[in-house]
Structure 1
Amino acid sequence: MGPTKPSRDAQLKKDLTKNLTSALEGSLKENLKLSPDAALRKVTKEMLANNPFVPPIGCPVNDLPPELLAYIFLVGTQMEAEYEYADDDDEDDEDMEQYQLSDEWTDEEGGNHRDTAALGSLANGGDMEVDGDGNEEDEDEEMELPFQVLVSHVCKHWRVVALESPVLWTKLNFGEGAPFEKSKTWIQRSKGLPLDISIDCTIPEENEHDAHDLDDVLHATGDASSPPTRTATISAEEYGRQYTEMHKDCTHPHPHLPLSLLDLVAILDIIVPHIEQWRSLTLTASLYDYMHTLLSRLAQCPAAPLLEVLELYHYEDCEDYEVFRPAELREPFLIFNGYAPNLRDVALWGVHLDWDRSLSFLKDLRDLELTYHAKDVRPSYATFTQMITFSPNLSTLSLCLSGPQGNDAETNDWGTEPISIPSLQELVLCYHEAPYAIALVQKLSVPNVRSLALDFDGEDYTEFVKQLTLPMAGTTKSILSGLEHMKISGLPCDRASIDMMYEQLVGLQTININCSGEEEEELFRRLMYPAAAGKKIYCPNLHTITTTGIDGAEMRGFVEARKAAGVPIKRLMMSEEDEIEDKDEKWLRAHVEEFDFFEPSDSEEELVDLTEDDESDNDMDM
């Protein structure tokens, strides 16, 4: 047996003895005559100089070049932005009101006493508030600040670096409320760099009290049995007043009240003078009045030379998509004077433009999303075709209850020529009536599509599925033959059409199925069954599956069947709302490489709940 390594204590004693002897001998040679205590202090200091467990003297990070420190700040800001989806900036804007971001520092150390105390609490994870006298007060919720603001309040040096890094101040959301001083300050600090602007004008759909939902507050028809009407909709200001009145005795925190139309006008007054800096513009609204206000203002703007992303989302519920309502706001606009040469990604939800005149900038797109358009405000087939053909690099096309105006069988206004999109990689089709969906896929020639998402309900889509199995216009292959990824949120059809579809999905690698109805459950089950002819299991290259509405026992049977057939599932995602016993979860984790749960969207939960409540109404002859 070889010699054992000395213990840390023994090694430390040995090193101290050696270094102390060397120091004493050296002092004698140099006639310094160090005392043993002085020599010990000297040796200890030297030995601890590079010890990682001993804090360094000063702040080494401040020795970094300002450019590198600024880059670290940028990375921190980007990392924080990745998690904004979960928080929706719930706390940031409230906390911003406590800080005058344009104030200069007031003491020699580079810190305002009020800010320093608050940051001290943040660093220690404490819950406190600092009043005007600098005294600490307990607070229920921990304060949070945007990363770039936080680092700008650490010390004078960091503040200078942060304020001189315009890239940190280019994302605006106006969530702090009027008069929007924070956003004005950030625009100044951006120093002309491209701006990413996001404006949320939505009205909360629900609050802490189920008894006071949005319909109770926004609609006052006087008849609880009748559906709410657009004419009964009140303003956002009135919603805020009524909400405050109803919840004046509540202890729960009030949500941020929606922006008013006057707020939106004020925001536009702030950002329009800087339109040459816009890189992205996103606006979400519950009422079309807000969109009309935005569009009418954009119609007065000269151009948006740097704009790359335009996302306008109108979320107002509507059950009739034959004619646009309200009629008085139907006017189509030409925005940016028809000039936005760098526009690449466009999403228009329930928002229409002057389509013909807008062709000057609705071109060279890479991502186009048209959703929830009433039939009378959709682009003509000719205009839609030009929009597509003028975008040779189009990668993603999403048509959900929207697209070109409907085909007239008598006049054949869609013609016979296919719409060829060889660049397309992802296609999304949702909520169309079956005849329209069939006519649409008959016209599309998308030989390189790798991802297809479908969401249909309300009627039988068997013929649509059969159309998917036929060769695309001008080709010898169906759209299914080249697919690698597929998502099915709803697809009522018979077993024969499912088999026809699965037989062609030989290259499919991932699938996401929302089993909201018996038909979708059959889609899941058929993935376990062999094809009738070749006796081979469907989708032999499938390695990843995501499901909603499937319990643990069913999924265990599925994984077992695929493994027995020699085509095992490697990755599995299941809805956290589905019933999965511990034993099934343990078994699944042991038999797939990756297993995890996900939180389903509200629409997925509603579909599953509807199926459980009205199962008898969803039967179909298979």
Structure 2
Amino acid sequence: MALRWARLVRDRKSKGRQGGKSCEDFRIIHFPPKVSAINRLPVEILSIIFSYEDDPAWRSPGLHFALRHEAVLSQVCRLWRAITLNMPFLWNRIALVHYDEHIVAQTYALLKRSKRVPLEIRVDWRPLWDLRHADYAAAYEGPVDYRREALRDALSALTRHVARWQLLLIRVDNQEVMQDALSAIASCSSAPLLEHLCLAAPTCNEEGREVPFDYSSALFSCSMPSLTYLSLRNSPSHWCGASTTGSLTVLKLHLPYDIPSASYADFMEMLARSPLLQVFWLSCVHTFEGYEDWVGERVLLPELEKLSFHNIGPDLGSKLLACLAITNLKRLELNLPDCWGSYETFVQELVTPYPETGQTILHSVTGLRVESIACQVDILSSMLYCLPKLSVLFIDHCHSSVFYLVLMRYMAQSIAENTEPQDEYTPLLLPLLDTVVLGDSDALVVRCLVEWRLMVDRRLRRLFVDSKMIMDIEEEDRLVEQLDVFGRVLTSPGKELMLDLDEVMDNLITTPKDCVHVIPAPTEQPPNTIALCR
């Protein structure tokens, strides 16, 4: 024991004479480092590294301020802090969230550090929504502290920099808070750089239906000459009137039942100013003021690629189609139940060719998503004759969809004609169809669909069915062998995830092989089977 202690003392003394370094340390020193020290890198290179968005989570505006990308970089050392503070575009994202206690001070700090760089502003003030969705099984009904004074102070600071606004997103769950936000913005006269505007307001329940609150007192006269993206959900419709002087590329309107504060003439003028419009999404709109009496030339939308009508009035939908000239439509989404009547006239407008070109709206459609259409089968079947380029068909609710019955009837007819050829040749409908998504269906119908495409020598390549469908293992193995991709559509209780269906549809139309929503299937399914997130 004494001998071991003596050896330890001797080793410590020898290390002390060498400056506390071991032999291994001296061996490493002889090899120069391959990478120079961080303090030797030029500021120009460091600034490029700092601006590189490696992790999207660090760039998220909803992330706590202390964990955001720019805040973390500024706390590493004095050199890094000096560099980041002189990079204003790192500080141009301002997020106003209800759970942030220092929202006012942070807003002033970001406005100062961002200098003259365009601002991206996101207001997500939904404490009640967070409390209710913390537990889906419980409904929170207690008092909620909305901290309206803090939000008003932060918005007041932002309005003084309205000339720098580039993106503005407001989403709240309280009428009074929304009134504060709209009043602050309405006081601005011009937003010359604003390109992206998204407003999502709450609704109230009256007699079993959701209706928007009245925000007519928030008079809006702000000029937005650069606006390209406009999304209004339960928001005052005069925002999509004369103030929108820019050329829109995306227009999304979700306004329950009516639009009392905007006329149809103003709306058509806004569309006429937007020849580059690419996405037009209209939901829960029953009528426009003065749409029945409006007379004018068709508004040409040559760049429109996506058109979505969800639960709109049949007369309004027919009028819109009659007033628009759409020549390059790629994707059409229809959800038109029988809440307000039948849509025979609407379908007739879809299949009626334009006099100038002799082609219909549907002639260039490659992706069709149908949830429901309240229309007679004979009239609806005419749509199949106007879809020569359709490659992706998405039917959400097969058992309640008339279009599903139309497709089944045509399948039976074409199989019968193929079995017993007729003297007159019947051209094949849907010659390019290779991807089908069925929200809910039967295993027998799925088998008939696959065999139908094989019989007409137009093999189906991708097929997705409902995850709840009961199917034999032998049948699944057979489908996997016959198809390039066979998958199941997963359902989720979170309503917010329903928006993912839009991205799924986009990927199926553009790059179906690289669909970002494809995930490994459960272990009990065949190894080649995949599933889509829903």
Aligned to 1:431: 311
1:539 to 424, 430, 438: 430
Compute the displacement of 1:69 (Å): 3.5
Structure 1 distance, partners of 2:487, 2:39, is 42
AA aligned opposite 1:74: S
Compute the displacement of 1:520 (Å): 5.0
Q: Deviations over 1:547-605 (max 9, x none)?
A: 42246665454334324432233344555566566665555444433455555575699
1:330 to 195, 216, 231: 216
Aligned to 2:102: 179
Compute the displacement of 1:164 (Å): 3.1
Unaligned 5+ runs, structure 1? 1-37, 50-55, 100-144, 219-237, 241-258, 607-622
Structure 1 distance, partners of 2:471, 2:81, is 51
Structure 2 distance, partners of 1:489, 1:81, is 37
Aligned to 2:452: 561
Structure 1 distance, partners of 2:313, 2:261, is 15
Q: 1:266 to 1:439 in 2, by over 3 A?
A: same
Q: Deviations over 1:166-203 (max 9, x none)?
A: 22222222235233144443333322211111111233
Q: 1:310 to 1:463 in 2, by over 3 A?
A: same
Q: Tell whether 2:90 aligns with 1:168.
A: yes
Secondary structure at 2:187 match in 1: coil
Structure 1 distance, partners of 2:310, 2:88, is 41
Structure 2 distance, partners of 1:278, 1:370, is 22
Aligned to 1:239: 144
AA aligned opposite 2:312: H
1:465 to 347, 355, 359: 347
Structure 1 distance, partners of 2:440, 2:115, is 51
CA contact (8 A) 2:204 2:210 kept: no
Secondary structure at 1:341 match in 2: coil
Aligned to 2:234: 350
Aligned to 1:341: 225
Compute the displacement of 1:348 (Å): 1.4
Aligned to 1:198: 122
Compute the displacement of 1:291 (Å): 2.8
Compute the displacement of 1:343 (Å): 1.3
2:53 to 76, 80, 84: 76
Compute the displacement of 1:377 (Å): 1.7
Aligned to 1:510: 392
CA contact (8 A) 1:367 1:394 kept: yes
How is 1:307-456 mapped onto 2 (pairs within 5 angstroms)? Answer: 307-316=194-203, 318=205, 326=213, 329-331=215-217, 333-336=219-222, 339-354=223-238, 358-375=241-258, 377-402=260-285, 405=288, 413-415=293-295, 417-456=297-336
AA aligned opposite 2:51: L
Structure 2 distance, partners of 1:168, 1:553, is 57
CA contact (8 A) 1:381 1:413 kept: no
Structure 2 distance, partners of 1:572, 1:167, is 45
Q: 1:320 to 1:75 in 2, by over 3 A?
A: farther
CA contact (8 A) 1:324 1:376 kept: no
Instruction: Give me the identity figure in percent.
Output: 22
CA contact (8 A) 1:347 1:369 kept: yes
Q: Alignment RMSD, CA only?
A: 3.9
Compute the displacement of 1:155 (Å): 4.5
Q: Tell whether 2:172 aligns with 1:285.
A: yes
Structure 1 distance, partners of 2:409, 2:46, is 56
Structure 1 distance, partners of 2:425, 2:219, is 56
1:212 to 138, 158, 162: 138
Q: Deviations over 1:75-127 (max 9, x none)?
A: 33563379x6xxx94xx33xx4xx5xxxxxxxxxxxxxxxxxxxxxxxxxxxx
Secondary structure at 2:304 match in 1: coil
CA contact (8 A) 1:366 1:391 kept: yes
Compute the displacement of 1:325 (Å): 5.6
CA contact (8 A) 1:446 1:479 kept: yes
2:378 to 496, 502, 512: 496
Q: Deviations over 1:338-393 (max 9, x none)?
A: x222111111122125469x414344222222221553525212211211112222
Greater Rg by CA? 1
Structure 2 distance, partners of 1:75, 1:154, is 17
Secondary structure at 1:375 match in 2: strand
Unaligned 5+ runs, structure 2? 1-22, 418-423, 499-534
Aligned to 1:24: none
Secondary structure at 2:307 match in 1: strand
Structure 2 distance, partners of 1:526, 1:45, is 81
Compute the displacement of 1:541 (Å): 1.2
AA aligned opposite 2:392: T
AA aligned opposite 2:402: E
Matched residues, number: 458
Compute the displacement of 1:319 (Å): 6.2
CA contact (8 A) 2:231 2:252 kept: yes
Structure 2 distance, partners of 1:472, 1:599, is 40
Aligned to 2:506: none
Compute the displacement of 1:504 (Å): 1.0
Secondary structure at 1:436 match in 2: helix
Q: 1:45 to 1:323 in 2, by over 3 A?
A: closer
Structure 2 distance, partners of 1:428, 1:194, is 32
Compute the displacement of 1:333 (Å): 1.8
CA contact (8 A) 2:332 2:365 kept: yes
Secondary structure at 2:144 match in 1: helix
Q: Deviations over 1:255-293 (max 9, x none)?
A: xxxx44334313212311221221000111233333322
Secondary structure at 1:330 match in 2: coil
Structure 1 distance, partners of 2:296, 2:182, is 35
Deviates more, 1:312-321 or 1:445-454: 312-321
AA aligned opposite 2:367: H
Structure 2 distance, partners of 1:473, 1:331, is 45
Structure 1 distance, partners of 2:38, 2:413, is 63
CA contact (8 A) 1:530 1:538 kept: no
Q: 1:312 to 1:209 in 2, by over 3 A?
A: closer
Structure 2 distance, partners of 1:502, 1:528, is 11
Structure 2 distance, partners of 1:189, 1:583, is 64
Q: What's the TM-score, normalizing by structure 2?
A: 0.73
Q: Which structure has the highest strand share of the two?
A: 2
Compute the displacement of 1:310 (Å): 0.8
Aligned to 2:18: none
Q: 1:433 to 1:153 in 2, by over 3 A?
A: same
Compute the displacement of 1:469 (Å): 1.1
Structure 1 distance, partners of 2:58, 2:481, is 35
Structure 1 distance, partners of 2:199, 2:48, is 32
Secondary structure at 1:289 match in 2: helix
